[in-house]
Each structure stands twice: as C-alpha cells, then as structure tokens.
C-alpha cells in the first residue's frame, strides 16, 4: 500500500482544488483544457438535476401509496418486502441493464434511479404512518376528522422523522448511482471520477471531493427541511 502511494503520480488535495477552480491541460497531449470551475459546475448541476428528477419521480410514485397503505394498515408485508428488496438491488447491474435494455439517456436513467428511490420512501412512509399511536388516531377520528384530515394533521406530522429518513435514504442511493451515470451516457461528476485518462488523478480526486460535498449538502438541506416541518410541539429526535 505504501509503495503504491509513493509511486503513483500523486493526486494531492492541492492539485484537486486547483483542478476545481482553474482549467488544466488534459492528460491527453494536445487535447483541450479540462477542469476549472465552469466544467465542475456544469457536471455538478447535471448530477443534481438527475438526482432531483429521480427523487421527484420516486416521491410521486411511492409517497401516496405508502401513506395510503400505512393509514389503512394493510399491505405491511408488501411494504416491508419492497423496502428490503430495494436495498438489495445492485446499482451497477441496474444501470447496466437499463442501458442495454431500454437505452441510455437522462429519461431512461431517471427511471432506473427511481427504482432505487421508491423502496425506501415507500417502506418508510408505510412504517411511519402505521406506527402512529392508534389511540391518537382514534381520538382524532372521535373528534370528527375525516380520514384525509387525520392523515394530514395527525399521522404525517408524527411520522415526519421516519418519512425523512426514507427520503434521505433514497437520496443517498440516487446520488451514489447518479455518480456512475456516465456509464449510461449521462454527464455527471462521475465523468471526472471515471475519466482519469482525460482528467488526470487530480481530476479524479476533485470529482470525488465534489460528489461528497454534493451529497452532504443535500443531506443538510433535507435535515433543515425536516426541522422546519417538524411541528414545534413534537420533541426533536436525536436523528
């Protein structure tokens, strides 16, 4: 390990930071310059766009279904199995299969990523709603609330932590897989990470750093959103 560290053309943090901000010569002699803030930003936005599209699609499909089933209390096995199986889907195989079967491109990739995002959102939506104290729900029903009102005013606010846990799980899976989007013909920060040939080892490290920052930023954003949406009456969880 040490020998490899010493002998590889060193990718240094300084080199990576330089890559992020100023264009460099490509590793391919005579090639165009690469790197620099514009290109980094472009690929970051591309990955962000892909992530948000996939999240949106996942929420659209999984959230209503999960909330409904959780409220009804039926389909527990279904939700649990989906949650577990979803976790088991190998990302590389999914991307490769989608690329070979339905083709490359943003639209197709969004569907593939949604396949990864749906299980955690669905399972957590179900569990979050279902685990709301029955006595509380009954009390609300006794007060004359409609089923929809119960869901909206009682169950969802109480399930916020669990719902957000599902959302964050989906985001992490989607961001991670969006990183290898270049394999399926869509630009993302994975272009840097998988493209040592063009971007050099500094570019690879730079890509990894920016992806990590992107993931952490989204995480913070959702954590903040969760805090915002958590009713002040509820004790803040140490999540």
Partner 1 sequence: MKTKTTRLWGAMLLALALTLGVAACGSDDDDGGTTTGSDGGGGAIVSNPDNGKVSLTIGSKNFPEQEILGEIYAQALAAAGYEVKSDLNLGSETVARKAVKTGEVSGYPEYASTALTSFFGKEPEEVPADAQGAYEEAKAEFEKEGLTAFAPTPFASANAVGTTTATAEKYDLETVSDLEGVSQDLTLYGSPECPQRIDCLAGLEELYGLKFKAFKSVDIGLRYTVLENGQADLSILFTTDPQLSAEKDKFVILEDDKEVFPAGNVIFVTTQKVSEKAGPDYEETILQVQEGLTLEVMQELDARVELERQTPKEAAAAYLKSAGYTG
Partner 2 sequence: MSSPVTPAAVGEVGEGFLKERSSDTLPCQATDALFCWDWAKENIDRYGTPTVQHLELVVISVALGFAVAFALALLAHRRRWLQPPLLAATGVLYTIPSIAFFFLLLPVTGRGRDTAIIALSAYTLQIIYRNTVIGLANVPGSVREAARGMGLTERQILWKVEVPLARPEIFAGLQIATVSTVAIATLAVFAGGGGLGTPIKAGIDFKTNIIIAGGIAILMAIAFGLALLAAQRFWTPWRRAETT
| Residue from the set 145, 196, 208, 219 that interacts with partner 1 by CB under 8 A | 196
Identify whether the C-beta of residue 164 lies closer than 8 Å to the C-beta of residue 222.
yes
Q: Which of 24, 183, 219, 222 binds partner 1 (CB under 8 A)?
A: 183
Residue 52 interface partner, choices partner 1, partner 2, none, CB cut-off 5-8 Å depending on type: none
Residue that the structure tokens 């606010």 belong to: 157
User: Residue 197 binds which entry of partner 1, partner 2, none, with Cβ cut-offs from 5 to 8 Å by kind?
Assistant: partner 1
Q: Give, as ranges, the residues between 74 and 103 that touch partner 1 (CB under 8 A).
A: 99-100, 102-103
Minimum CB distance to partner 2, residue 7 (Å)? 9
Is residue 89 within 8 Å of residue 116, measured between CB atoms? Answer: yes
- Candidate residues 18, 49, 187, 219; the one interacting with partner 2 per rule CB under 8 A: 219
Residue 198's binding partner out of partner 2, partner 1, none, with CB under 5 to 8 Å set by partner kind? partner 1
Distances (CA, A) of 170 to 13, 55, 216: 30, 7, 14
Measured between alpha carbons, how far is 94 from 177 in angstroms, rounded to an integer?
Answer: 9
Question: Could you tell me if 187 and 45 are in contact, meaning their C-beta atoms sit under 8 angstroms apart?
Answer: no
The region of 23-31, 45-53, 67-75, 120-128 touching partner 1 under the rule CB under 8 A is 23-31
SS3 of 136-178: HHHHHHHCCCCHHHHHHHHHHHHHHHHHHHHHHHHHHHHHHHH
Q: Does 238 bind partner 1 (CB under 8 A)?
A: no
Q: Is 28 in the site for partner 2 (CB under 8 A)?
A: no
């Amino acid at each position: 390990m040490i020998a490899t560290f010493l002998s590889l053309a060193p990718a240094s943090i300084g080199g990576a930071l330089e890559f992020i901000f100023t264009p460099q010569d490509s590793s391919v002699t005579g090639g165009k310059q690469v790197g620099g803030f514009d290109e980094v930003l472009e690929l970051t936005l591309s990955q962000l766009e892909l992530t948000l599209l996939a999240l949106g699609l996942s929420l659209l499909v999984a959230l209503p279904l999960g909330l409904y089933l959780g409220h009804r209390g039926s389909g527990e096995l279904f939700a649990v199995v989906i949650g577990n199986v979803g976790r088991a889907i190998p990302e590389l195989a999914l991307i490769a299969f989608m690329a070979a079967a339905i083709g490359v491109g943003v639209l197709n990739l969004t569907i593939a990523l949604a396949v990864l995002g749906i299980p955690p959102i669905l399972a957590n939506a179900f569990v979050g709603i279902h685990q709301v104290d029955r006595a509380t729900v009954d009390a609300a029903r006794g007060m004359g609330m409609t089923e929809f009102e119960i869901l909206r005013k009682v169950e969802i606010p109480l399930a916020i932590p669990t719902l957000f846990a599902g959302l964050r799980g989906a985001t992490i899976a989607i961001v991670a897989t969006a990183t290898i989007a270049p394999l399926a013909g869509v630009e993302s920060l994975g272009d840097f990470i998988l493209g040592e040939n063009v971007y050099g080892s500094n570019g690879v490290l730079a890509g990894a750093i920016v992806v990590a920052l992107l993931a952490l930023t989204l995480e913070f954003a959702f954590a903040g959103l969760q805090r915002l949406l958590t009713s002040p009456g509820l004790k803040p969880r140490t999540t």
